[in-house]
Chains A and B, each alone.
Chain A
């Protein structure tokens, strides 16, 4: 029996759970819920690390206070010039560099959430990312996607995938794979040594040889996983799977292309099927020189990469759009008012997106609080209208098929009950 499948079947029993809970060095507890996976459903999470300015991403050009707060970096209201916002509903518009997403919007498969955050939000990059990836108001040792994976009694072939890194969302008792966005997952050793080395390392990394040291346990678990991944991935050629769209030749674009290949492969060969994936795009911490609607601006260039890569990914997915939901998030939005360096500082509510054929496309605003100084949180920040945990609840219950999102997101110390809000 393939060891991974054995271990997975094993950990799904109550006994296996007890054993893992006992021996796990970080004290992760396994959470059990009724298995709810809808076959083939996949969640892709794109994290914009650095705090993307939401007010210039989903531009409230209809808000009378917007241009007063942003005299130099405001994105002009929709019009013929290329730096003007792309009209969504007469009040909100997309930044013009997100033009690639407009077709998805018109298909009704893009949900736009202009003001997402949580109460008393952190304004630290690190803490903010950790909180949002924990899915709770206090930093958890494990991420919300890992907690989700643990609720699944039937495991999908490859499980979950971090593209480029293992973000906090995927950290926890369930060991998941990480693939570089560009590299092939192979050992760079002479062909004659490849199989013997992998066999010897598989013996050396056997999880049963780990001891009470947390780091050693981690090494054995991930070492075993990486050797299994190599064995699996050496048997296929991802690049033989054609792309049906042109991706930007950026790190993010290559990563999204790689991910689409992997998703298509998983449809052909169940051993490679995944149920969740994460990918990052950085460069959003625009304290200075952020720019407005013009294509040369610092944020505009990042948005172009972001939007074009997402659009290519979406087109490339083809019929997989029914089953693959893409969620974009960022740790915080930025100050409503531009600062003296033609940039913005760490703020509060941010713009999130969902893409997928089952998405209820359109704006999901809630009650727009407005940008008048009395409406701004602490006089400085756009307040949130959507709690991100409700977005998670929608994704978990209405896309991934979890019966009750609170089983994945249990520790809401502030009393918030994650509840779907009609995104799907």
Chain B
């Protein structure tokens, strides 16, 4: 900030005056700024920055060429108590400039669409999908995963099913990183978390695998089918005690009876939400409906001999006596089409795809589509489309406002820099970052919002992960970012060229001048790409960028 230009002064009370200024900004850097802005703050109580709807604390400067000085297009106002000296050293300007984007990459809006419907952009996607129209065309293709060739991934995974917990987590991570059916993987991870089960509750890897596959089959399909897959999954039947749920024997006071664990979480967490309008009686009645739903020979089995055949009333719907497996099916039917379910599922989808603070208009339009397409095979695809195609979806207010979960963090690093990992070394890292896959004991699943993940301990582990991925020794199947390859392939030589290239791949234009400055400092002004220590400096650069606050966002 190089100066203030006085505009006006006004006395507003016995002791207070308001002074209006424009500010002047000089760009000392060698890089042109496409746009610059500054936030004004005061650290002296008698001087307040006016923020009243007509003026605010933000100043806009527009484009600033290297070495150029520009006057702000708008003004800022100080309200000052004249009993104190007005001292400009208490007025602070936090300046942000955006460097001109290197030609030939995705626009911020296109990038936003990609970041939300995939596990991260890739260099290839950024080069190919430049504008919003192309991004929406990509989205449209993603809605039909069966038409996307994913043979490269299948070849990498091989034909053998994962047999251990680590192997299963690796399998899921490799899909998130490499599948061409990105939206399908995003939604499969969403549903697997929504219908969370804990491998530790049954210790059968095949059941978690089967559940994950069933959820993937319907991830963009019909919600009732998703419910069916979850309700009949041996993993779920063990995890929430369905296998223990049997009709009470009136003749035997010590007989076992219906178990409420699954019927309660089914309503609270899988369908209606905790405030969805069900009662304790609804929980008890549906517990009776699910008696006899059990596991035999490693698969779902309905045992009519322990089923409670009496009449049940669930959410006002009478299930007549004499039913069998159809009793539980009816409960799932009622829940799948309940208005609270449409609202609850859409709220979670909007939180996943848009913002931690889901805009009501998006939730409402989604819930309308969800309810209206309850009988459609592509119900979820339609619900997602209503969100992604919503007129506000690409609004700048929703761009890069979501903090990545550890799964998204790990997958995005591999995708952003084209790492050819088979993810064999990632599962233990997920445990350290607080998100062991298939092993979450809490039925709510992992949180999807910033407050769930941002705290000192998790940030420490993310920084450690960034450093690990940047310095990991390369090898078959391992996760090791190779900055050298990028630098050579693109003929990059100077520190600014290299820094701007990696920032573009990592965060697009969403970085602060300080983040760029620190990145330049890692390489040093005299950086020589042919020197012996170039590789070490480049890896240090990556470890630094991947640890930035910008990089935690999507």
Contact = CB atoms under 8 A, between A and B. Distances in A.
A81 interface: no
Contacts of B402: 215
Contact of A211 (B96, B268, B450): B96
Interface stretch (A112-120, A124-132, A261-269, A299-307): A124-132
A313 to B, nearest CB: 21
A162 B455 CA distance: 10
B248 A214 contact: no
A215 B254 CA distance: 53
A203 B518 contact: yes
Given A187-B460, A188-B467, A193-B540, A216 B274 contact: no
Interface string B541-554: 00110011100110
Interface in A138-177: 162, 164-166, 171, 177
A213 B547 contact: no
A343 B400 CA distance: 46
Contacts of B444: 125-126
A218 B451 contact: yes
B522 interface: yes
Nearest to B254: A71
Contacts of A342: 256
Most buried by B among A10, A211, A223, A285: A223
Contacts of A203: 514, 517-518
Contacts of B467: 187-189, 193, 197
A39 interface: no
A215 B403 contact: yes
Contact of A340 (B92, B244, B548): B244
A340 B259 contact: yes
B456 A288 contact: no
Interface string A15-30: 1000100100000000
A187 B451 contact: no
Nearest to B432: A183
Interface in B241-276: 241, 244-246, 248, 253-261, 264, 268, 274
A204 B451 contact: no
B107 interface: no
A264 to B, nearest CB: 21
Contact of B260 (A124, A208, A230, A339): A339
A219 interface: yes
Given A189-B543, A197-B547, A282-B441, A71 B253 contact: yes
A387 interface: no
A187 B278 CA distance: 48
Interface in A347-374: none
A180 B253 CA distance: 47
Nearest to A283: B441
A200 interface: yes
Contacts of B94: 208-209
A200 B245 contact: no
B100 to A, nearest CB: 20
A219 B518 contact: no
B77 to A, nearest CB: 15
A187 B401 contact: no
Contacts of B526: none
A178 B455 contact: yes
Contact of A288 (B259, B400, B463): B259
Nearest to B249: A340
Contact of B401 (A22, A215, A220): A215
Interface in B23-50: 39, 41, 43, 45
A138 to B, nearest CB: 11
B131 interface: no
Interface in A185-228: 185, 187-189, 193, 196-197, 200-201, 203-206, 208-211, 213-216, 218-220, 222-223, 225-226
Nearest to B539: A193
A188 B468 contact: yes
B274 A124 contact: yes
B217 interface: no
Interface residues of A, number: 68
B457 A214 contact: no
Contacts of B403: 215, 218-219
A399 interface: no
A203 B240 CA distance: 47
Nearest to B93: A208
A345 interface: yes
Interface string B438-478: 00011110000011001111111001100110000000000
Interface string B503-544: 000000000101101100110000000000000000010011
B137 interface: no
B356 interface: yes
A231 to B, nearest CB: 12
Contact of B463 (A71, A72, A187): A187
A210 B244 CA distance: 52
B450 A215 contact: yes
B459 A188 contact: no
Nearest to A215: B450
Contacts of B457: 162, 164-166, 177-180, 185, 226
B159 interface: no
B280 interface: yes
A340 B257 contact: yes
Contacts of A211: 39, 96
B40 to A, nearest CB: 11
Contacts of A127: 274
B454 A218 contact: yes
A341 B553 contact: no
Interface in B49-95: 51, 92, 94
Interface string A227-251: 0011000000000000000000000
Given A14-B45, A127-B274, A185-B460, A219 B246 contact: no
A222 B456 contact: yes
Given A209-B94, A340-B246, A341-B241, A215 B454 contact: yes
Contacts of B454: 215, 218-219, 222
Contacts of B244: 287-288, 340-341, 343
A37 interface: no
Given A219-B454, A226-B460, A378-B280, A126 B274 contact: yes
Contacts of A285: 261
A209 B514 contact: yes
Interface in A93-143: 122-127
Given A339-B257, A339-B259, A204 B96 contact: no
A216 B553 contact: yes
A205 B259 contact: no
Most buried by A among B260, B261, B268, B455: B455
Contacts of A384: none
A419 B12 CA distance: 46
B52 to A, nearest CB: 12
15 contacts: A10-B43, A22-B51, A124-B268, A126-B444, A178-B455, A185-B456, A188-B464, A200-B518, A206-B514, A216-B401, A220-B549, A223-B459, A282-B442, A287-B241, A341-B257
Given A126-B274, A287-B259, 8 more contacts: A197-B544, A209-B96, A214-B356, A215-B553, A226-B456, A340-B248, A340-B256, A343-B244
Interface of A: 10, 13-15, 19, 22, 49, 71-72, 122-127, 162, 164-166, 171, 177-180, 185, 187-189, 193, 196-197, 200-201, 203-206, 208-211, 213-216, 218-220, 222-223, 225-226, 229-230, 282-283, 285, 287-288, 339-343, 345-346, 378, 380
**Closest CB pairs A-B (n = 3):** A340-B257, A340-B256, A226-B456
